[in-house]
Amino acid sequence: MKSTLFSFFVILIVVNQSFSQTREVLELKNWKFYQGDVSHASQLNFDDSEWEQVIVPHDWAIKGPFDKEIDLQVVKIEQNNETIATEKTGRTGSLPFIGVGWYRTKIVRPDYDTDKQVILTFDGAMSNAEVYVNGRKIGNRPYGYSYFFFDISKELKVGSENVIAVRLENKAFSSRWYPGAGIYRKVKMITKDIASFKHWGHFITTPYINDSIAKINIKSQVHGENIVIKTFIKDEKGNVVVENVANQRFGDEIEQSISLMNPKKWDIETPYLYTAEMELYQDDILKDNESITFGVREIKYSSEVGFELNGKVVKFKGVCLHHDLGPLGVAVNKSALRRQLRILKDLGVNAIRSSHNMPSIEQLELCDEMGFLFLAESFDEWKKPKVKNGYNLYFDEWAEKDIVDLVHATRNHPSIVMWSAGNEVPDQWGSDGVKRAKWIQDIFHREDSTRPVTVGMDQVKAVMENGFGAILDVPGLNYRVHLYEDAYKLFPQGMILGSETASTVSSRGVYKFPVEIGFNRIHDDLQSSSYDVEYCSWSNLPDDDFVLQDDKPWVIGEFVWTGFDYLGEPTPYDNFWPSRSSYFGILDLAGIPKDRYYLYRSRWNKKEETLHILPHWNWKGREREKTPVFVYTNYESAELFVNGKSQGVQRKNNTSNLHRYRLMWMDVKYEPGEVKVVAFDENGKAVAEKFIRTSGKAHSILLEADRKVINADGEDLSFITATIVDRRGVPVPDAMERLSFVVSGNGSFKAVCNGDATSLEVFHNPAMKTFNGKLVIIVQSSEIEGDIKVTVSGKGLKTSVIDLSSKK
């Protein structure tokens, strides 16, 4: 029997903002920005009056314009099995992220905190950050995805203005996707006593959990002598359920063991979170405090059953996500992230992989709160390059520091259940790469012994031969479904993770005839078919992964490439202008579901009914031509009708992988009217039906908001889907109508997106064409409560209005 890899219990924490007399946390939002290199821009007396006023998080490149020449790369992408170098025009999104940008902000240090420690923290800055305080460089960080901080206590002047300046520089040929530009995640200044908790200094685990008791072990690193820690653990209602006092110290660490009676466990379905209020005393004087949320949960990996959460076997039903938020760029926004996760929850997703970089704190907080498992990834490159100016330039000097800071900043989130040390790194070849893999994994183990480590491996034959795959805690395979069996037999771990799967390509609402399965298909309109039968040379159809997930108990789950379309990497059109964003998403760049959404939902969301028909039924000029109809459903059989005439009953079967998971009527001939499907339960009883209809001409605009009431905090967002409909209210699926938007009241227009990977319309202008009948308008709240009115109009269309409101 193959050995168990990991078996452990963990309680994990999330450090929240805590405001008190002992600790002040100030988010630095207001900055001056200038794109371009400026000498002396870091100096205190530098005149920045003409610089742009911006709110951080900020992405300077997202407003465009799109330009073919930006980061034009002539490259051979070995990961894509390319043998010759070709021109790649939209690989990094064709947005102006290359170059230098400066940020400046001013703060005043009051007289009363001269004896305080001041920490300046960055959750991410893209990239090659150089940080200055009053003209003096205090440090740098090249990796744009890293969390980092500096102690600036000695740099600040008391009672007068202090200037914090940040210089960023994005190099050409430094990324394989749109990396964004600017200080795109939060910056905070933490002021606390010299006697205090160290930054990222807490780590909580549990050596024992059952239904009646959990042993909570808290390790806290501290500054100062004669330190006592008081801990109050509260339930979700704010009631104190247990408290503890500790002062025994080993080096700079104080450890607590606390018994929590009748613990409520953190789980996917019930992500229960406790709060620990921790107070630090020196000589009986309160010096520091932090408020911490945590979840109690047990994770276990074994060759016998795979992955277990709280004693139950769970398969990863995961998606990969890049860090951009479509038309919002990379500037982190919790409301946009929450919308993504709400959509994925309905899809049935239970896990997220941050690809191929360190996740935002906001994303982890939401996954803790909403019940998602998380695979936190670190790098896309190690020592050997994929792109000329990628992480390979910094690996030797910075890799260990970047890993340590990743782990310390995020290890206390209950959602994180695995670390990924890399993705498709060229170091998979050769003995040096094997040594690097072990070195990196050992760093993760040293900093966090409670979670396993994986790597997304695409050179499967190489890693089977050289031992690379054998040393990893969990071997992750990117694609290569035909090698799963061989890898399982050879690797000692007794399990395989589909760390990246499918890479099926499609464009929402686009259908190609005849319907043919194939890879790297190129069409004149630079779109991919939404029949979901087109994929890449290195990848496969979703159904090929489904078979492995369903039939092989040693396959512990998958992470589909990708949940949402993202900016850049427009395979298979990455050398066809104007393609500038991906086709891989289950949802498009605007967050509108493609047909493939319902294929995955029919497998993953077992609580709700799925019954979806494709294609649409507006095919003027195709009368009497074969127009196959697919149905994605969680039912095993269904009957199809066209204008009331039965097209027969189809049942899922083992004829092929597609037949096993899809219902397909291949010989249907198009005629305008109505297509209806009637689904049957296992006893042959009709239990559900769905229909689609041929529409008339575009008449009006249907507006649907994901949320009509938003927070009046100046950051919250409402996403409004605009759908072109005919006089009867039937959606017009091929409508390409230009719409204009006016937002009035206590809100503002933020951005718009139609999901078309070839559109060169910028996101921040309040007008855009619909793509196949739809687009999404994003409205942002102000900091004042009140009504928000959104008016949408188009030539020849009836104007539509939707009312929103914002509240404190």
191's tokens: 């002021």
**Bond from prior residue into 514 cis (ω within 30 degrees of 0):** yes
Strand order, beta sheet including 786-794: 709-711, 800-807, 786-794, 738-745, 767-769
Marked catalytic residue, from 365, 500, 534, 569? 500
For the chain, how many helices (H) and strands (E)?
A: 10, 49
Q: Which two tokens stand for residue 657?
A: 């992988």
In this structure, is the dihedral angle defined by the CA atoms of residues 593, 594, 596 and 599, taken in order, positive or negative?
positive
Separation of alpha carbons 280 and 125, rounded Å: 32
Closest C-alpha to 393, from 185, 99, 182, 173:
173
H/E segment holding residue 651: strand 645-651
Buried b or exposed e, range 705-735, using 16+ CB within 10 angstroms: bbbeebbbeebbbbbbbbbbbbeeebbbbbb
Closest CA to 393 of 384, 402, 380: 384
Q: Which two tokens stand for residue 566?
A: 């993202």
For domain 619-693, give the fold.
Immunoglobulin-like (2.60.40)
Q: Are 770 and 754 in contact (CB under 8 A)?
A: yes
Q: Active site includes 255?
A: no
Residues 489, 493, 498, CA angle at the centre, nearest 5°? 80
Residue found under tokens 């959104």: 790
Quick one: tokens of 471? 């040393």
Catalytic pick from 424, 534, 558, 737? 424
What CATH architecture does domain 6-15+195-299 belong to? Sandwich (2.60)
User: Burial letters for 372-404: b for 16+ Cβ neighbours within 10 Å, e otherwise?
Assistant: bbbbbbbbbbbebbbbeebbbbbbeebbeebbe
> Which pLDDT score, from 0 to 100, does residue 13 have?
38
Same CATH topology for 6-15+195-299 and 23-193: the answer is: no
Q: Which two tokens stand for residue 113?
A: 């905190």
User: What local confidence, expressed as pLDDT, does residue 73 receive?
Assistant: 84
Cα–chain-centroid distance for residue 178?
14
User: According to the model, what pLDDT value does residue 21 have?
Assistant: 61
Based on the residue annotation, tell me whether 500 is a catalytic residue of this protein. Answer: yes
* Alpha carbon distance 540, 533 (integer Å): 9
What is the domain partition of the chain in residue ranges? 6-15+195-299, 23-193, 308-604, 619-693, 700-807
Sequence-separated (6 or more) residues with CB below 8 Å from residue 490: 464, 469, 470
Quick: pLDDT tens for 303-352: 999 999 999 999 999 999 999 999 999 999 999 999 999 999 999 999 99
- DSSP-derived secondary structure letter, 542: H
Buried b or exposed e, range 353-366, using 16+ CB within 10 angstroms: bbbbbbbbbbbbbb
CA of 139: how far to CAs of 136, 146, 148, 517, in Å? Answer: 9, 14, 10, 53
User: Could you tell me where the beta strands, DSSP code E, fall in 326-393?
Assistant: 351-354, 373-377
What was the pLDDT predicted at 87?
A: 83
Q: Domain 700-807 - what CATH class? A: mainly beta
The predicted pLDDT at position 19 comes to 36
Which positions of the chain have pLDDT values less than 70?
Answer: 1-21, 80, 112
Q: Is the dihedral of CA 301, 303, 306, 312 positive or negative?
A: negative
Q: Residue 615: is the preceding peptide bond cis (ω within 30°)?
A: yes
Cis peptide before 570 (omega within 30 of 0): no
| 12 in Cβ contact with 209 (< 8 Å) | no
Coil vs helix vs strand at 251: coil
Give CA separation, 449 vs 205, 208, 358, 444, 725, in Å.
10, 15, 19, 7, 56
Which residue has tokens 């498709």?
Answer: 424
Encoded tokens for 318: 């995961």
Local structure of 408: helix, strand or coil: helix
| Fold topology of 308-604 | TIM Barrel (3.20.20)
Residue 740 near residue 799, CB atoms below 8 Å? no
8 A C-beta contact, residue 82 and residue 50: no
3-class SS at 736? coil
Q: Looking at residue 86, what is its pLDDT?
A: 82
CB 298 within 8 A of CB 209: yes
d(CA 99, CA 106): 24
DSSP 8-state secondary structure symbol assigned to residue 430: S
- pLDDT above 90 as % of the chain: 92
Question: Token digits for 94?
Answer: 């064709």
Q: Is 670 helix (H, G, I), strand (E, B) or coil?
A: coil
Task: Identify residue 406 by its one-letter amino acid code.
Answer: L
CATH architecture, domain 23-193? Sandwich (2.60)
Identify the CA nearest to 96 among candidates 72, 56, 62. 62
- What are the Cα distances from residue 538, in Å, to 79, 501, 570? 8, 10, 15
The reply to whether the predicted model has a pTM over 0.85 is yes
What whole-number distance in Å separates Cα of residue 449 and Cα of residue 9? 11
Q: How many residues does the chain have?
A: 808
DSSP character for 271? Answer: B
